[in-house]
Amino acid sequence: MANDYSADVIVVGTGVVGCLVAEQALDAGLSVLMLEAGPRVERWQIVENYRNVPPRFKQNWNAPYPAKPWAPHIESELADATTDYLQLEGPNGRAYRQGYVRYAGGATWHWAGICWRLHPDDMRMKSLYGVGRDWAFDYNTLEPYYTRAEYALGVCGPSEVELQWPPLPRSKPFPMGRIPFGQGEQRFTEAAARVGITNLPAPQARNSGVSYDGRPPCCGNNNCFPVCPISAKYDAASALPRIESKGGRILANAVVYRVETDAKQNIQAVHFFNPNKETQRVVGRLFVIACNAIETPKLLLMSKDERNPNGVANHSDQVGRNLMDQPKISAQMVLAEPMWTGVGPVQGSSIMMTGQGAFRSEHAGAMLRCENAALSAVGGLAALSKGLVGKALDAEIRRLSACTARLTIEHEILADPNNRLTLSDKKDWLGLSKPNIYYDVGDYVRRGHQEYTLPLLKKLIAELGAVESSIATTFTNSDHMMGSCIMGTDPTDSVVDVDCRAHDHPNLFLPGGAAMTTGGCGNSTITMAALAMKASDAIVDQLKRG
């Protein structure tokens, strides 16, 4: 079989982690080839797709990203689409219905841009609280990589230490100042203060009032979900062309289905299908798999051979285990006075202090926030359901659009080996196994919600002056996929080392959310990006040493 493609570094996956690793390697003078299962698209195409989405799917952020037959993902709220690709089971299977995108650029297309760092205590759960696992290194080790990631992505944030999270000294300030609160988030901040908790401005990979890295300032379109229409936010449409300008090659519609090892357990090649179901082989010196916490373990498990009967990198039997997200509960309400959410980015703040405390030995903490997305569609549909017509209907649409608000709680979850991805006996369009996921949020989260976060949520709803409210009773996904290739120093109970290098294969790296040991309750992306930076240093050093 001919080798059609080769490079020093082969990167499978073109999301934020893959892009950061690729760019760091290119800057070090290495050749890079990236492979992506899905198509390459332009920003205008996604904007146009969103404009043409039926109204009932406007709140589904994957709807403008129709899945290709060879690279399926969840794209609608329809039940048959939910079960078509991800096979979900367990007490809370629904809570792992992740909305990732198999397009070039991955979830950077529709992420919120939020960049909360972990708190140092989040990395010492076993030592401090006797639950979960400790990271293999401490916060101070990760801090310089956080800073590098923030400058690579272009993160804006507050200059005041008391408004930062964690409230600790930083090695460098944020590249840009914070984005001011809109009216809705300001009102939420004041209500939280009356309850005795602090709502913080969120650091965001979005330009605040200035241009940065060729991107324009945010002008508050409030369309970060499902796509930033002007590229003020870091995403694939700005990252991928920059990688190509530095000499990187990007191969779209290339579904990698096998990782090939040699007798010394080095990775020799990856194999991929193109949309015509033709197979090709890619060789390199070093391989990076950065496909997220679902597609990465799926690929490793599909690659079993006689030397690796449980799958590549899986002598510990930990590949696919310890899946994490941040189980979410949302509340919707109608206020007596207008809230006017929708001014500025879709997320701009969160209450982080509720994730910390001695209670973590007993139950989960959580992040609470006010959704800043415009809820005119929700209010409009509610008005239409009342059977009104004419001026009465128009007035009710206007009232509910302004007065409807949504609060969200995202709980921390502990790594549990029983929360696991395995290969389904059902096959996709290419004949590859679909991912099967067992998921239970566990009593730690359930206790946290019943005893701690639900009472807090009810206080906030009352303090905001709600006249109607409903609180969801089932956990849903936050799209913060973590675990499945967990990090550790013991090769018998972890998959990767402190640099995200596979214990079993010296030239295989698995950086990003899959390697995270704990996730805290904040968004996971900047920690994934920091791990990508740390892995990049190890990759460059390893290849330079030969």
The residues, ordered by sequence, that sit 6+ positions from 464 with a Cβ below 8 Å of its Cβ are 187, 188, 191, 333, 335, 339, 405
| Bridge-based pairing state of the strands 249-251 and 420-427 | unpaired
Q: What is the per-residue DSSP string for 141-191?
A: HHHHHHHHHHHHHT-B--SSGGGSSS-S--SS--SBPPPPP-HHHHHHHHH
Instruction: State the amino acid at position 512 in one-letter form.
Output: G
Q: At what angle do helices 525-544 and 139-153 cross, to 10 degrees?
A: 100
Encode 199-209: b = buried (16+ Cβ within 10 Å), e = exposed.
bbbbbbbbbbe
Conformational region of residue 130, where left means phi above 0, alpha means psi within -120 to 50, and beta covers everything else: left
Chain center to CA of 67: 18
Q: How far is CA 129 from CA 17, 121, 277, 443, in A?
A: 30, 9, 50, 16
Asked whether 63 and 75 are in contact (CB, 8 A), the reply is yes
Side-chain-side CA neighbours of 395 within 13 Å: the count stands at 5
CA distance 350 to 411: 13
Active site residues: 480
Q: Check the CA dihedral 62-65-66-68 and report its sign.
A: negative
Are the C-beta atoms of residues 113 and 233 closer than 8 Å to each other? yes
Match 């309400």 to its residue by tokens: 333
CB 63 within 8 A of CB 53: yes
State which H helix or E strand residue 34 sits in: strand 32-35
Q: Helix (H, G, I), strand (E, B), or coil: what is residue 3? A: strand
| Amino acid type, 42 | E
Q: Which of 157, 175, 88, 86 is nearest to 116 (CA)?
A: 157
